[in-house]
Structure 1
Amino acid sequence: MTIEELLLIALAVSLDAFGVAIAIGINDKATVAKKFAFALSFGFFQFLCSFIGGVGGKLFTENVAAVPSVLGGIVIAIVGILMIKEGMEEKDDNFILSFKMYFVLGISVSIDAIVVGFITFSSISSLATLGLATAIVGIVTMIMSLIAFILAKFLGKINVVGKYGDYIGGIILILFGIKMIFF
């Protein structure tokens, strides 16, 4: 996997967090400290879920059966389709800014990273390299969340903006899945 592919994957899985961060950012009760805590939460859980998925994929590949790239591409494309479908669903604009929401929202925007980690990071040979790759996913997510908080100052309607993150992320994952299937 090239650095460009890794950054595209990181960008794709971070767009859920980007959409949620915009929703939180336009809430006038969200302080700078809370926004930063959400960005850290989103980045940490993207890292953790990607890492867990990568380790699970590696163990599965080594002990059960190798996951062919065609199957992996299909799964990645399905995750992309599900992200687009999620973008079409109506989302609740009322976010509770309590401490438990750092965990709830952090995990909820990172679930797809487990599947992506399972398929794309299972071929990484060492835990240190896997840790570095998934840390990049977490850092990209944190940066994207911080950018979303900055952009939220200028955005008025969350229903339009929040959906685009899911669509773009889904399209990127579908394209990456097609690349895995055919190339």
Structure 2
Amino acid sequence: MSSKVLLGAENIDQVAWGAINGCEAASLLEGLHYQGRALDLNYGQFLLQMPISADNNPYHGFGGSPFTNRPGKFEAIFTRPLLWWGNRYGHLQELSGANPQWLYDSVTKGNPVLTFVTVHFEQPDWDSYPFGQVPANNHAVLLDGIDSDQVHVSDPIDGQYWLSKAKFEFIYQTRRMAIAINK
């Protein structure tokens, strides 16, 4: 019996929609659609509903704009406001702080996981903001598959692909931020 699991979530190309900073919303919608939720919303409609932070703090909502880079702004949204927003459409579970096996267990149970990583899974490039240290190359992907030594992601920039668990875990563990999108 194979230990390989591939949920087959869709891939939303954030750049094709002009949302150069819209990875969290794309990954969230991929997971919601996989679970049969928010099917009446396309990515553009979903982005228009994303909570925006008045103080540009990604812990309060999306900081800046998903469509442009603004100097001094950190264009992202972190787990707390994503949970608040996403739970309007489905059943989300905070997994931040979890060891990678918890993420894999979620996928094995049929629940993809929005995971904060870095663009192209490169080494984090840390920046300081009033709300804390964050990687300038922040990125979010949807973890939707596992195998003995690989994981599968639906990446809103680079498409769908397998990569080594070691590389995934190294980047995930720099922040340990994740949300399961449950049935």
Q: TM-score, normalised by structure 1?
A: 0.28
Higher CA-based Rg: 1
Q: TM-score, normalised by structure 2?
A: 0.28
Q: Which has the higher strand share?
A: 2
Q: Which has the higher helix share?
A: 1
Q: Per chain length, whose mean CA-contact separation is higher, i.e. which structure has more relative contact order (CA < 8 Å, sep 6+)?
A: 1
